[in-house]
Structure formats: structure tokens, C-alpha cells
């Protein structure tokens, strides 16, 4: 049986140990192929049920009493669950709050304040736009200099590139675990050790790895981490992000958005802000209750499936798609830019074509939904819990037909 045949895709689906998990999501006939779970994941049925429970039972039924009876503990309780299941964090170091952008702003200010004798923030020049923008904003506000890592390829940041910019002035280094374009995986533990050897602090963006690959921030000695929950954790549009602070920093860390939820006595209405003891000091405003509830259900699905199994399917699924790209698309002028080693590749694959924007529009018209990224890139997100091999095969087959004209 040829690996590029539809029968091969069906055989892989039949042997998939995670195939039953697709039934735990609300999946409609449209789109035919969804290649965008790395931007917005499909909704778990349990999350839809939970959202109704939070609004009907707690909001409608308990009104303001919901805060004291149930809601106030959500950011830290679900933070501990996510920390344990998704990022390898012991209790008391992770909270659900705000957006990735706001959380990155918080931890950058907090990290820089812990290195007051240093003057540089390091980030690569191909990092996700919001990360770059926020680094520049924080540097401007604190009178720091941005030191750019120049990345000439899709390979992302590695030890050689990082070594060129680290020095005695480095306060903080911001790095993505999985490159949002190429899907290249950075060495979490190795780069963190290099950053510490230089006397700096490591801030990791886990947006494209959380929920699809095992992460152990405690074992890697990470200082701070942020990430979103609406991608592979399937918590829904605008769902709150997570924020991690290593326990060793919690006594001294201060964040720039002092709000009532992060105060030691939330209801004291004190004239002076006194930060809470522990990770709760990283909170600011009123928690997004419905969003955090959806995060909890998304994390529970990931826990049931197991990150080792999710990672294994992600490697096999992306390998299958890479094989189709090589066989069908490369001869027609498509360039595959993601790493070929599945150990160095996340759960999306990116290709380049001179007419990528128009091709993406045609794909969407035919019920195949990918991401378009400048310049001339089509990103194919493959979510192991919801993307079947047959679905992926159909999407690449449609792409082949569009390119062939």
C-alpha cells in the first residue's frame, strides 16, 4: 500500500491509539479539512457543557455568591492542573490570567527588575510579532537595550546563535519553544542553562508546544514562561493564557500591573497595594471565569490522552503530511521549510509558494482551512487529538489540485 494513498491514511486512522478522542470534540462537516488547530483548536464537548454549567448553574443560580463558593480559586487551581499536566510545573507556580501578550509584559518587567545591574533584553528578530513588540515596549519603559538575535533561516534559535549575543549586560532572554513559522523546536533545557551561565534569566513562550509535546519547566530550570490555551489546549477564542514563575523567584518578584485580585487581602480595599504571597501576586484584574473553566476541560482531555501519546501521533501525522508534500507538491514548486527530523518539529508544517496568498484563498473556498503567513507561507496545523490522517490526506489532495490548476 503506497504511503500516499487514501487507503494508507485510513489504515493509519484505524491503528491510531488516540482515534477515540476525536469523538470528544464538536466537529462539523464544514470545514472539510481543518489545518488551523494550532491557531484555534476545535471545541471539546466537555468544554461546551462546562460553559453552560458556569453560566446557568453558577451565574444564573448563584449570582455574586459564585465568587466565594467557586470562582475565586479558579486561576490558581486550574493553574496547578495545567502546570502538572502540560508544562511540568509543581503546584503554586502557574496561574491562568489575561492574554499571552499581557502575561509576557508582566514577566518581562518582573524579570528585568530581578537583574537591575544589567541593561539588555535579548530576543530573535523572527520571533512572533507580539513578543517582539512587547520586548521593545518594556525595554523603552525601563531604559534597556534590545539585543537582537539574527536568524537567517527557518531553523529558529540554537546554541550558536544565542552564544553570539549573551554577555555581562544580558538581563533577560525571550525565546519560543516552537517557532510559529517553521515549527522548529528549541532546546528548552540547553538554552536555559546557557542563559543562566551568563547570569541572565530565561523567559519562554510555550504557545506552540503547550498541549502537544511534553514540557518540564521545573526540570529545565526555567525562570518564567507564558503561553496561550486556545490552540492545542482547545479552550476557545480569547481563552485566558497561563503564566509560570519558578518558585525560587516568588518571594522577590514584582509585576507591573498591580490589581486587586493580586493583593494579599483581596477584599481589604486597602489604601496601599500589598502583593499576595506566592503565584497569586501575578494576577491583576477579575478572572475570566468562563474562559478558565473551558481551559480546565481542555487540559483534562490532554491529561486523559497523555502527552507522550499526543507527541507520538504528532510526529507520525506530520511525517505523513511531509511525505505527501514531497510526493505531490515539491515537484510543482512548493518548498517544505519545516525540519524533517520529527524530534525537532512541532505539530505544524510550513511550505512556501510564490502564489501562497491566492492559493490559501482557494483552499478556504474549497473547505480546507490553513494559515497564510508572510512572506508566501502556508502553515498546516495538525492537532493530534482532532486531525485524522484521512482529513489531512484530503486537505493536501485539494492543495495539490489547486496548484496543478
Catalytic (active-site) positions = 128, 205, 230-231, 379
DSSP for 200-225?
A: -EEEEE-TTTTTTS---HHHHT-SEE
* Cα(184)–Cα(304) distance, integer angstroms: 26
User: Of 363, 348, 373, which is closest to residue 31 (Cα–Cα)?
Assistant: 363
Alpha carbon dihedral 58, 62, 63, 69, in 10-degree steps, equals: -80
Q: For residue 105, how far is the Cα from the chain centroid?
A: 16
Q: Are 310 and 302 in contact (CB under 8 A)?
A: yes
DSSP state of 181: T
Q: For residue 118, how far is the Cα from the chain centroid?
A: 29
- Coil, helix or strand for 123? strand
* Cα(312)–Cα(216) distance, integer angstroms: 17
Q: How far is CA 387 from CA 112, 193, 316, 357, 390, in A?
A: 40, 35, 12, 23, 8
* Contacts for 241 with CB less than 8 Å, ≥ 6 apart: 96, 97, 98, 99, 100, 102, 103, 226, 227, 228, 229
368-369 vs 371-373, strand pairing mode: unpaired
* Cα(69)–Cα(49) distance, integer angstroms: 20
* Cα(83)–Cα(76) distance, integer angstroms: 10
User: Of 173, 242, 235, 165, which is closest to residue 207 (Cα–Cα)?
Assistant: 242
Amino acid at each position: 500500500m503506497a504511503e500516499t494513498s487514501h487507503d494508507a491514511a485510513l489504515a493509519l486512522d484505524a491503528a491510531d491509539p488516540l482515534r477515540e478522542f476525536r469523538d470528544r470534540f464538536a466537529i462539523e462537516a464544514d470545514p472539510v479539512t481543518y489545518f488551523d488547530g494550532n491557531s484555534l483548536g476545535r471545541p471539546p464537548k466537555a468544554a461546551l457543557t462546562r460553559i453552560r454549567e458556569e453560566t446557568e448553574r453558577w451565574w444564573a443560580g448563584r449570582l455574586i455568591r459564585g465568587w466565594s463558593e467557586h470562582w475565586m480559586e479558579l486561576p490558581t487551581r486550574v493553574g496547578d492542573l495545567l502546570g502538572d499536566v502540560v508544562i511540568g510545573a509543581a503546584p503554586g507556580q502557574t496561574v491562568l490570567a489575561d492574554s499571552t501578550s499581557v502575561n509576557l509584559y508582566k514577566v518581562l518587567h518582573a524579570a528585568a527588575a530581578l537583574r537591575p545591574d544589567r541593561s539588555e533584553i535579548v530576543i530573535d528578530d523572527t520571533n512572533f510579532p507580539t513578543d517582539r513588540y512587547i520586548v521593545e515596549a518594556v525595554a523603552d519603559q525601563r531604559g534597556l537595550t534590545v539585543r537582537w538575535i539574527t536568524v537567517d533561516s527557518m531553523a529558529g534559535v540554537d546554541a550558536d546563535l544565542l552564544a553570539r549575543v549573551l554577555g555581562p549586560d544580558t538581563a533577560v532572554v525571550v525565546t519560543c519553544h516552537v517557532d510559529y513559522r517553521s515549527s522548529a523546536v528549541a532546546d528548552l533545557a540547553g538554552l536555559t542553562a546557557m542563559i543562566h551561565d551568563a547570569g541572565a534569566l530565561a523567559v519562554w513562550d510555550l504557545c506552540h508546544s503547550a498541549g502537544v509535546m511534553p514540557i518540564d519547566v521545573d526540570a529545565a530550570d526555567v525562570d518564567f514562561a507564558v503561553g496561550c490555551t486556545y490552540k492545542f489546549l482547545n479552550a476557545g477564542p480569547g481563552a485566558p493564557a497561563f503564566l509560570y514563575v519558578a518558585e525560587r523567584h516568588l518571594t522577590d518578584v514584582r509585576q507591573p500591573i498591580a490589581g486587586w485580585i493580586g493583593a494579599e487581602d483581596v477584599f481589604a480595599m486597602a489604601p496601599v497595594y500589598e502583593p499576595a504571597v506566592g503565584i497569586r501576586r501575578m494576577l491583576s484584574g477579575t478572572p475570566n471565569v468562563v474562559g478558565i473553566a473551558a481551559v480546565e476541560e481542555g487540559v483534562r482531555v490532554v491529561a486523559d490522552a497523555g502527552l507522550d501519546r499526543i507527541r507520538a501521533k504528532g510526529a507520525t501525522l506530520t511525517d505523513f503530511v511531509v511525505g505527501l508534500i514531497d510526493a505531490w507538491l515539491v515537484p510543482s514548486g512548493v518548498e517544505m521549510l519545516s525540519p524533517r527530523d520529527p524530534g525537532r518539529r512541532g505539530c505544524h508544517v510550513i511550505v512556501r509558494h510564490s502564489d501562497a496568498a491566492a492559493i490559501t484563498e482557494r483552499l478556504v473556498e474549497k473547505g480546507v482551512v490553513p494559515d497564510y503567513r508572510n512572506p508566501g507561507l502556508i502553515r498546516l496545523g495538525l492537532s493530534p487529538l482532532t486531525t485524522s490522517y484521512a482529513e489531512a490526506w484530503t486537505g493536501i489532495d485539494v492543495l495539490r489540485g489547486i496548484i496543478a490548476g
